[in-house]
């Protein structure tokens, strides 16, 4: 898979430039791309729940 994590261009031309999308949508797309990759490349867990984060 050739995808620069800092890139804002999705490899699927139907999706293309993701800069205008909200963070949650961009993250969901990234998680889909990384689903089958596995360690050592893996997403960092994220939450908007402060109690869960602590």
pLDDT tens column, 2-47: 444 556 888 888 988 988 999 889 889 988 888 888 888 888 888 8
> What is the number of alpha carbons within 13 Å of residue 7 lying toward its C-beta?
13
Bridge partners (DSSP) of residue 9 are 17
Q: How far apart are the first and last CA of the chain?
A: 34
Question: Which pTM was predicted?
Answer: 0.68
Q: What is the largest CA-CA distance in the chain?
A: 39
């Amino acid at each position: 898979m050739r995808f620069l994590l800092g890139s804002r261009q999705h490899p699927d031309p139907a999706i293309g430039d993701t800069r205008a999308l909200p963070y949650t949508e961009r993250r969901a797309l990234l998680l889909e791309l990384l689903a089958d990759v596995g360690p050592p490349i893996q997403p960092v867990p994220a939450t908007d729940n402060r109690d869960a984060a602590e």
